[in-house]
Amino acid sequence: MNIHEYQAREVFRQHGIPVPPGEVATTPEGAEKIAAELGTGVVVKAQVHAGGRGKAGGVKLAATPGEARAAAEKILGMQIKGLTVTKVLVSPAEEIEHEAYVGAIVDRSNGAVVLMASPEGGIDIEEVAAKTPELIYKESVDPRYGLLSHQASRLAYKLYAGDASRARQASDIIQKLYASMLDAGASLIEINPLITTKSGELKAIDAKMNIDDNELFRRSEIAELRDVEAEAPEEVKARAQGLTYIKLDGNVGCCVNGAGLAMATMDLVKYYGGEPANFLDIGGSSSPEKVVTALQIITSDPAVKSILFNIFGGITRCDDVASGIVEATKEIELSVPITIRLTGTNEDEAVKILEAAGFSAMTEMDEAVQKAVELAKN
Amino acid sequence: MAIYADSNTRVVIQGITGRDGSFHTHHMMEYGTNVVAGVTPGKGGQKFEGKVPVFDTVEEAVRKEGADASVIYVPAAFAASAICEAADSGIELIVCISEGIPVLDMLRAARYVTDRGARLIGPNCPGMISPGKAKLGIIPGQIVEEGPVGVVSRSGTLTYEVVWALTSAGMGQSSCIGIGGDPVIGTDFVDCLDAFEGDPQTEAIVLIGEIGGTDEQNAARHIKEKLSKPVVGFVAGQTAPPGRRMGHAGAIISGSSGTAEEKIAAFRANGVEVAERPVDMPEIVRRALNG
């Protein structure tokens, strides 16, 4: 789960990381009011789950409350990577001497959290990694002991060699950043940039945090930060039913059991000259109700011209899926053709259920995909 | 032969009285797996299906029944602890089927297992099966057949698809291992490749990867450097968009890395043939076996 910058800043603030003041507005008037209260020049920043906000024009400086209003007018409603901006963060414009980067991620190859720091802040860290990898310093955290303070200090003195005041501040911030990560259940956490002000103070200007979805069951205060408005409504609906749905740009709607098989099915659609409309995994124990929801979601996408079911029964029982399809088509008027492939557990029962309702079923994945792609062209 | 588990493996089921645990234990036993004990804290003293003793702790299952492998079906909130308990009790092979374990918990659990010299398969995986010998997990027994092909995969149903295609084409398997779709897992591709390399029954290896991470790239280099047996690869997710989690927590393209393209290129650069479609797999494997 992604959370917004203003929410991540709040987590930082609670952990004692220096963060400038600022508030969120949903209207230009609101932005104007916040700017007036702050009484300084401000920066107005789009709050959206997409990178590259600055390049897209989603971050603007404003010297007066009137300018803040004008900036918010431009940014609110703007599309950034397909997502509509509904909130802006209004925060004092800082006088920046230097921009650094600090962050932490779960490094899967190492099986450890890795802290990273770079004096080249303010830009995409992947760009730094590609162009000047020697300017990224790393410390791997042994999960048995957690982050040791000398590790934070070592990173800090690499960032600010010869400047003990800033190094001490940075060491403290790095330890608090790691604590924030553990407390929020984040799999990625970044301050970019960590600025130095004219007076030599360090401040976290931008805050990014990806929360591990698997943490949400035990962190209700973090789960509440989910901004449902910032997500596609079908994805929200799917999640409520325990399905994973991701909308794509094609016209062949796919409904598959298992994430790997779902991806392989999408790839096969492309292989046969089609374009998948979505990723949809109905999971292991697929009750008929899940199948009904899945079909509702797929058919709500007007681009879908053909629907493909691909089920390999193991835990998933083919007859459950078949019943779900029959059930769903009683509730939903299908205006596009449906191609069903199922094989494995209770396949024969499934075929009987489907045939009794006037559907036919296939057993080979490739044949079914080819047929679904053909049907989408009509 | 087979890898990691066979008919001599003495299996304890953690979470044996739960809905998933009891269902799958039944099927594991039906397959012929030597299930010697179950564990559910608070239910010690019961018998599962009238014959398998249930204990409160793994330590008892090891001491009283000589369990040396464990299969975990407990809910995500308790699964990391279950893994550590198994490792601490002297279990050598821990297969964790549970999905949804927080990654920060898994970092510690995985390290704990390594420190105690145990092997973890998973989590969030279908487990493993050595056809004709033992099934530790949820891979359907009816789709496998004893034979010379070793299968290792990050996926579940996609593995079944490929295994079933192999079986239908008359090519059985030595062992099939699902290593799991999470970012932090125990046994990885390289471990399984080495085990298959050392297994006399295995003559060819099928490796099924997907987007996210660098496990496939590491495997590709390892195959070139260390393996004599032929390996055939497949990578799912060529049409997956960057930055979106494709179901599995580990299946996410971050920035420009972890794409299917990159992985397929790594396999080919290291002399590993890659099947374009799952259906192409049996023919390529047959050539590898005959080559």
pTM, 2 dp: 0.94
Looking at residue A222, what is its pLDDT?
94
Q: Would the pLDDT of A157 be above 80?
A: yes
Is the same domain home to B24 and B57? yes
Q: CB contact, 8 Å: B108 with chain A?
A: yes
What is the tens place of the pLDDT at every residue in B126-160? 999 999 999 999 999 999 999 999 999 999 999 99
Is the same domain home to B145 and B107? no
For A249, half-sphere exposure in the C-beta direction (CA atoms, 13 angstrom radius) is 5
Looking at residue A331, what is its pLDDT?
86
Q: Name the A residues in 229-258 with CB < 8 Å from any B CB.
A: 244, 246, 248, 256-258
Q: CB contact, 8 Å: A106 with chain B?
A: yes
Q: Would the pLDDT of B287 be above 90?
A: yes
Q: Name the B residues in 142-161 with CB < 8 Å from any A CB.
A: 143, 153-161
Please report the ipTM that was assigned to this predicted complex: 0.94
Of B24, B26, B222, B248, the active-site residue reads B248
Q: Under an 8 A CB cutoff, do A217 and B240 touch? A: no
Q: Would the pLDDT of A254 be above 80?
A: yes
A21-93 — its CATH code? Answer: 3.30.1490.20
Distant-in-sequence, close-in-space partners of B181: CB < 8 Å, separation ≥ 6: A259, A260, B124, B125, B154, B155, B156, B210, B247, B248, B249, B250, B251
Query: How close is the nearest chain A Cα to the Cα of B22, in Å?
Result: 13
Looking at residue A316, what is its pLDDT?
83
Q: Which CATH number fits domain A232-377: 2.70.98.40, 3.40.50.261, 1.10.10.10, 3.40.50.970?
A: 3.40.50.261
Q: Under an 8 A CB cutoff, do B154 and A260 touch? A: yes
What is the tens place of the pLDDT at every residue in B233-270? 999 999 999 888 888 888 888 777 899 999 999 999 99
Q: CB contact, 8 Å: B219 with chain A?
A: no
Looking at residue A50, what is its pLDDT?
81
Q: Would the pLDDT of A309 be above 70?
A: yes
Give exposure, B76-95, as e/b (b: 16+ Cβ within 10 Å): bebbbebbbbbbebebbbbb
Looking at residue B240, what is its pLDDT?
94
Q: Under an 8 A CB cutoff, do B246 and A279 touch? A: yes
For chain B, what is the mean pLDDT? 96
Q: Are strands B119-121 and B93-96 parallel, antiparallel or unpaired?
A: parallel
For this structure, is A355 an active site residue? no
For chain A, what is the mean pLDDT? 93
Looking at residue A80, what is its pLDDT?
87
Nearest CB neighbour to B236, from listed A144, A264, A284: A264
Q: Would the pLDDT of B175 be above 90?
A: yes
Looking at residue A111, what is its pLDDT?
93
Q: Name the A residues in 327-366 with CB < 8 Å from any B CB.
A: 343-345, 364-366
Q: Which residues of A touch B184 (CB under 8 A)?
A: 106, 108, 111
Q: Would the pLDDT of A230 be above 80?
A: no
Measured CA to CA, the distance from residue A167 to residue B158 in angstroms comes to 50
Q: Would the pLDDT of A233 be above 90?
A: no
Q: Name the A residues in 178-237 with CB < 8 Å from any B CB.
A: 182, 185, 187, 212-215, 217-218
User: For chain A, what are the domain ranges?
Assistant: 1-20+95-231, 21-93, 232-377
Looking at residue A285, what is its pLDDT?
64
Q: CB contact, 8 Å: B240 with chain A?
A: yes
Looking at residue B249, what is its pLDDT?
83
Instruction: Assign residue B213 the CATH number of its domain.
Output: 3.40.50.261
For this structure, is B27 an active site residue? no
Instruction: Assign residue B52 the CATH number of its domain.
Output: 3.40.50.720
Of A190, A234, A245, A347, the active-site residue reads A190
Is the same domain home to B62 and B145? no
Q: Averaged over A272-280, what is the pLDDT?
A: 97
Range of the structural domain that residue B104 is part of = 11-121
Looking at residue B85, what is its pLDDT?
98
Give residue A123's pLDDT band: very low, low, confident or very high (50, 70, 90): confident
Q: Averaged over A175-182, what is the pLDDT?
A: 98
Looking at residue A376, what is its pLDDT?
96
Q: Which residues of B touch A344 (CB under 8 A)?
A: 140, 143, 160, 164
| Chain A residue whose CA is closest to B106 | A111
| Chain A residue whose CA is closest to B210 | A260
Domain count, chain B: 2
Domain boundary among B73, B94, B121: B121
Is the same domain home to B182 and B242? yes
Looking at residue A71, what is its pLDDT?
96
Q: Where are the beta strands (DSSP E) in chain A?
A: 23-25, 42-46, 59-62, 79-80, 83-84, 88-92, 96-107, 112-118, 137-141, 186-197, 202-204, 207-211, 244-247, 252-256, 278-281, 306-313, 338-344, 361-362
Looking at residue B164, what is its pLDDT?
95
A1-20+95-231 is a CATH 3.30.470.20 domain: yes
